[in-house]
Chain A
Amino acid sequence: NAGVTQTPKFQVLKTGQSMTLQCAQDMNHNSMYWYRQDPGMGLRLIYYSASEGTTDKGEVPNGYNVSRLNKREFSLRLESAAPSQTSVYFCASSEAQQALGSPLHFGNGTRLTVT
Chain B
Amino acid sequence: AQSVAQPEDQVNVAEGNPLTVKCTYSVSGNPYLFWYVQYPNRGLQFLLKYITGDNLVKGSYGFEAEFNKSQTSFHLKKPSALVSDSALYFCAVRGYSSASKIIFGSGTRLSIRP
Count A-side interface residues using an 8 Å CB cutoff: 24
C-alpha gap A98/B44 in the complex (Å): 21
Say yes or no for A74: interface residue by CB 8 A criterion.
no
C-alpha gap A43/B93 in the complex (Å): 12
Q: Which chain B residues border A104 with CB–CB below 8 Å?
A: 36, 44, 46, 102
Closest B-chain residue to A102, C-beta based?
B49
Say yes or no for B94: interface residue by CB 8 A criterion.
yes
Say yes or no for A34: interface residue by CB 8 A criterion.
no
Q: Which chain A residues border B9 with CB–CB below 8 Å?
A: 40
Which residues of chain A from 64 to 108 have any CB-CB distance to chain B below 8 Å in the complex?
90, 92, 97-98, 100-101, 103-108
Chain A interface SS verdict (over half) = loop
Q: Which chain A residues border B49 with CB–CB below 8 Å?
A: 101, 103
Inter-subunit contact A97/B98 (CB<8 Å) = yes
Query: How many whole Å from B80's CB to the nearest CB in chain A?
Result: 25
Inter-subunit contact B43/A42 (CB<8 Å) = no
C-alpha gap A32/B105 in the complex (Å): 20
Say yes or no for B74: interface residue by CB 8 A criterion.
no
The residue among A35, A42, A48, A106 with the most chain B CB atoms within 10 A of its own CB is A42
Q: Which chain B residues border A41 with CB–CB below 8 Å?
A: 106
Inter-subunit contact B43/A108 (CB<8 Å) = yes
Which residues of chain B from 37 to 75 have any CB-CB distance to chain A below 8 Å in the complex?
41-46, 49, 51
Q: A58-B101, A100-B51, A104-B44 are in contact. List 14 more A-B contacts (CB 8 A).
A: A35-B104, A42-B104, A42-B106, A43-B44, A44-B104, A45-B101, A45-B102, A92-B44, A101-B51, A103-B34, A104-B102, A107-B43, A108-B41, A108-B43
Which residues in B have some Cβ–Cβ distance to A below 8 Å?
9, 32, 34, 36, 41-46, 49, 51, 90, 94, 96, 98, 100-102, 104-107
CB-CB nearest 8 A-B residue pairs: A106-B43, A103-B46, A43-B104, A42-B104, A42-B106, A101-B51, A106-B44, A98-B98
Which residues in A have some Cβ–Cβ distance to B below 8 Å?
4, 35, 40-45, 48, 58-59, 90, 92, 97-98, 100-101, 103-109
